[in-house]
Chains A and B, each alone.
Chain A
Amino acid sequence: MRYGRAPEVLRDIDLTLKPGSFHFLTGPSGAGKSSLLKLIYLAHGPSRGLIRLFGQDISTVARRDVPDLRRRIGVVFQEFRLLDHLSALDNVALPLRIAGRRAQEYRDDVAELLAWVGLGERLEALPSTLSGGEKQRLAIARAVVNRPDVLLADEPTGNVDREMGLRILRLFQELNRLGTTVLIATHDRELVQRAGQPVLRLDGGRLSPPLRPGPPVGQASGPRAEAEAAPELALDPPPPVPPPGPGEAAA
C-alpha cells in the first residue's frame, strides 16, 4: 500500500484474522499500523495485492455493497473523527441512525452506553467541550454501539487514565467474547500484557508473525520500551490459513 506516489508504507503483508479472534497491533510510530487499519475498514485501497473481507474480495465488491461491509466494522479512529456539531449522544448514535434505527428505539441504549464509558452526564455535550479522554471514550462508544462483527481501534487508550483504559479493555474483551473480531493498534504495553492476546508487530511496513505476550514487565511504555520488551513476547505459531469466511482480512 502506498499514498499517491510516495514509497510503500506496507508491503508483503499476509494477515488473516479469524472470526472471533483478538489481536493487538504494535510497532513504532510510522510503522504503518493506521494504514493497515485503513485497508481493513475500506478507507484506502491496496496499491497491489488482495484483501478479503467477510469472505469477499473487496476489489470485486460493488460500490453499492461497500456500506453493508462498513456497517459490520466498528472503528475507533486515532483522531476520533467526532462530528463537532452533534451532541455526544448523537455522535454515538450515528451508526444506528445510518442503519435506519428509529431515534426513540435507540436513545436509552445509547445513553446507557455513554454512562458506561463515564459520559452519562454529558449526553448533550458537544465534542468541542470534551477533554481528550472524553472524546476518546465517545469515539469508542460510537465504534461499539451497533455490536460490529469486527472492531478496529487505533490507539484507543492513548488519552485515558489507567483505570479507564482497563475498563475499555474489558469492554473490548466482552465484545470479543460475544463474537466480535478485535484488532487494536496500540503502544500501551500494559494493555497488551493484561489482555494476554496475540500481538502482531509492524516494523518498516512489514508484519511479524503473531506473538503472545509474556508476563508483565514494569510500567515502561512507548516505542522504545516496547522495542526493548519485544524479546519477552512468546512466539505463537501462525495458525493455518482457513478458507475465506466472516471476519477475515488479508492484505
Chain B
Amino acid sequence: MTGLPAQAPARRWRPGPLLPVGEGRDRALSFVIAVLCALACLTAILALAADRAASGWRTQISASATVLVRPGRGQTSSEAAAAAAEALAGVPGVTEARALDRADALRLLTPWLGGGVLPDDAPIPMLVAVDLDPRRPATSAALRAALANAGVQAVLDDHSRWLGDVERAALIARSAALGAGALVALAAGAAVAFATRAGLTSRRDVIEVLHLSGARDGFISGLFERRFAWLAARSGAYGALAAILLAGALKAFGGQDGFTPLLPLQWSDLLAAAPCPLAAAGVAVVSARRAALRVLRAPSQA
C-alpha cells in the first residue's frame, strides 16, 4: 500500500474511546460517588478529631489519681490528709500530691449536695489530689504501698473506671468510623456495579461488535474499569474537596478548641481526605470488573 497524506498529524492523533461517552447516567453516578466520598471523608476527619479528644481525656485521667483519707485514731482529717500527701509525694512517678482543704472538698461536693447546705461542723471526706508523671506514671500498687507504709487509711481512686469508659468510647468511635467508611465503599461499589451492568446492557451492540472482532472479556471489562476508575477518582476528588471545605469551615469558625472540645479538629486532620480519589478509583475498578465479567461470562453472551 502506498502512503497517503494524513488529515491530522499522526503524533497528535488519539483513537476515540471504545465506549460511548457523555451519557447522562455518568453524570448521575459522578454525583452519587462525590456525595458518598464527601460523607466518607467527613467521617474520617471527625473520627480523627474524636480519637484525639478521647486520647486527651485518657491522658488527663491517667495522669491523676484521687485519695480519700480516713483519719486514724487521735488524728484530725486535715492531719491525715497531710500525712497522705507527704507519703505520696515521695513516690517515683508522682509530680505533686496535695491535700485539698475543706473549701475545696465542699466545692467538689456541691454538684451532689448543693451549695451552702452543710453545717460548718459536718464531717466531710478529705481528699488528696495526686498528679502523676504522664511519661512514667506511678502505678496504683506503688501508691497504695506508700499509703500503707505511712499508716494512712485511705481509698485510692486511680480513675481506671473512667479510663475504661473513655477507651471504650474511643473504640466505638473508631469502629463506627470504619463501619461508615466500609458502608460508603460498599454503596459506591454497588453504584458502580449497577452502572457497569447498565452500560453493558444498553450498549449490547457495542459489546457484541467488540466480541465478534476478537475482544476478550478482560479487554471489554477493562474499558469499564478504566472509565469508572477515572470517573470515581474525579468524583472522589470533588467529594474530598467538599469535605475539606466543610471541615475547614468548622475548624475556622468553631473556636479555639477546633469546633468543640468534644471534637478538637486540627488542620492536619483534613489530610485524611487526601487518599479518597485513589480509594474511590480502587473500589470502582474492583466493582466494575466483577460486574462486567459476571455479565460477559453469562451463558447468553456471545
Whether A99 lies near B13 (C-beta < 8 A) is no
A64, A71, A93: the one contacting B214 at CB < 8 Å is A71
Bound-state CA distance A104–B12 (Å) is: 9
Output the least CB separation between B289 and chain A (Å).
Answer: 16
Q: Name the residue of chain A whose CB is nearest to the CB of B3.
A: A108
- Considering the chains assembled together, what is the distance between the CA atoms of A108 and B216 in angstroms? 26
B205 at the A interface (CB under 8 A): yes
Cβ contacts under 8 Å, A70 to chain B: 211-214
Give the interface size class of chain B: 20 to 34
Chain B contact residues: over half helix, strand or loop, or mixed?
A: loop
Looking at A71, A111, A113, A124, the one whose CB has the most chain B CB atoms below 10 A away is A111
Q: Mark B280-302, 1 if CB is under 8 A from A, else 0.
A: 00000000000000000100001
Q: CB of A81 within 8 A of chain B?
A: yes
Q: Which of B192-206 contact A (CB under 8 A)?
A: 205-206
User: Is the CB of B10 closer than 8 A to any CB of chain A?
Assistant: yes
Chain A 124-139 against B: per-residue CB contact (8 Å), 1 yes, 0 no?
Answer: 1000000000000000
- Docked-complex contact A90 and B1, CB < 8 angstroms: no
List B residues 151-165 near A (Cβ within 8 Å). Answer: none
A107 touches B10 (CB 8 A): yes
> Is B216 within 8 A of A67, CB to CB?
yes
Q: Is there an interface contact between B214 and A95, defined as CB atoms closer than 8 Å?
A: yes
Interface string of B1-42 (1 = CB under 8 A from A): 111101110110111111011000000000000000000000
- Whether B145 is near chain A, meaning CB under 8 Å from some CB there, is no
Chain B residue with minimal CB distance to A65?
A: B216
Q: Which residue of B lies closest to A44 (CB)?
A: B302
- B15 and A103: CB pair below 8 A? yes
Residue of B nearest to A142 (CB): B213
A193 interfacial by beta-carbon distance below 8 Å = no
Which DSSP category, helix, strand, loop or mixed, fits chain A's interface? Answer: helix
Residue of B whose beta carbon sits closest to that of A93:
B15
Task: Kindly state whether residue B267 has any CB partner on chain A within 8 Å.
Answer: no
Question: Which listed residue (A42, A81, A123) contacts B205, Cβ 8 A?
Answer: A81
| A111: contacting residue among B7, B209, B216, B297, CB under 8 A | B7
Query: In the complex the two chains form, is B18's CB within 8 Å of A97's CB?
Result: yes
Give chain A nearest CB distance to B206 CB in angstroms: 6
**Smallest beta-carbon distance B191→chain A, Å:** 23
Tell me which residues across on chain A come within 8 A of B297, comparing CB atoms.
63
Docked CA distance A129–B206 (Å) = 18
**Closest 4 pairs between A and B when the two form their complex, measured CB to CB:** A71-B214, A85-B20, A70-B214, A67-B214
- Give 21 CB contacts A-B under 8 Å: A41-B212, A42-B212, A71-B213, A81-B208, A81-B209, A83-B18, A87-B16, A90-B15, A94-B209, A94-B213, A95-B213, A98-B213, A98-B214, A103-B13, A104-B13, A109-B1, A111-B4, A111-B6, A111-B7, A112-B3, A120-B4
